Amino acid sequence: MLKVCDLEKRLQQHLVLHDFQMEIPDGCIFGLIGENGAGKSTLLRILAGVYECDKGCVMIDDLKLHEHAEKKAEILLIPDEPFYFHNATLSDMKQFYHIAHPEFDEAYYHRLIALFDLNDKLPLQKYSKGMKRQAFLILGLCIAPRYLLLDEAFDGLDPHMRMRFKKEIANRIEEKKMSVVISSHNLKEMEEICDRFGILENGRLTTSGSMSEQLHEIHRFQLAFAKPISEAEFNDLQLLSLQIDSRIVNLVAQGDETEIQAFLKKKQPLMMEMLPVSLEEMFVFQMLKKAEVKK
């Protein structure tokens, strides 16, 4: 397991991360969610050992990463803008990565460049942004480290390529038992591939856990009543959103589904329908709720 304990990090006197705690179990796909400037890229760089933390530590199997160089080899970061040498081809970078990672899967590499139709003899500077993303995702999957960190993993890829890479990531996790941490702005995409997630806000991980469990704790209902109804009727619910238009009510509440339904039925609605909630909606509702509390 990878753990972050009491981490603090400043960049140019700006406190980016503080009192930060996180756990990433082995064999999972962990989605790191946060607004621009929340510190996602900084966190990934700390996990990869590119940045040192000012306080706290990163641990793998209860061993501090900065004290055990052999543990750093178990982590690979593919940043938003991957580094490559001037005029280097994908084949050149493959050789470079192969030196640092002897476990590099050469046969799998050739299968992937054929699958994604990449010319590995063409200089990377002539690749489009999406092609560069494909190239370095391929290198990461061929290394298959214990922890693969992907910053904006699918940025620049068309939907078909995204689907292909998601399949390859899932297969590689099953084969190699690795964990993947993905930072992305595309919450719909995160919901499709991640089994665990964390929301990074104000330098801390404010919400984290199982994707399915968290979504199952948030429920959206649409109701219709015979007479107009007031907001006060719903004060006993843990509301994330409430909209009332005379007799029509749309609400999002957090808690046990059965208990919420029982509460709403006591209000004797003419109609009650439960609607699905997406990860993106959950994130927006929670941010709006926190903004209201601050007012």
pLDDT at 118 exceeding the cut of 90? yes
pLDDT at 157 exceeding the cut of 90? no
The reply to whether 105 and 193 lie within a common domain is: yes
- pTM for the structure as a whole: 0.82
The reply to whether 195 and 221 lie within a common domain is: no
The reply to whether 184 and 41 lie within a common domain is: yes
CATH of the domain at 94: 3.40.50.300
Instruction: Say how many domains are in the chain.
Output: 2
Mean per-residue pLDDT over the chain, rounded: 90
At 4 the pLDDT is: 93
Final residue in a domain of this structure, among 189, 209, 229: 209
The reply to whether 175 and 257 lie within a common domain is: no
The reply to whether 205 and 223 lie within a common domain is: no
The reply to whether 237 and 178 lie within a common domain is: no
The reply to whether 42 and 168 lie within a common domain is: yes
**3-class SS string, the chain:** CEEEEEEEEEECCEEEEEEEEEEECCCCEEEEECCCCCCHHHHHHHHCCCCCCCEEEEEECCEEHHHCHHHHCCEEEECCCCCCCCCCEHHHHHHHHHHHCCCCCHHHHHHHHHHCCCCCCCEHHHCCHHHHHHHHHHHHHHHCCCEEEEECCCCCCCHHHHHHHHHHHHHHHHHHCCEEEEECCCHHHHHHHCCEEEEEECCEEEEEEEHHHHHHCEEEEEEECCCCCCHHHHCCCCEEEEEEECCEEEEEEECCHHHHHHHHHCCCCCEEEEECCCHHHHHHHHHHHHHHHHC
At 229 the pLDDT is: 95
Boundaries of domain holding 186: 2-209
CATH of the domain at 273: 3.30.70
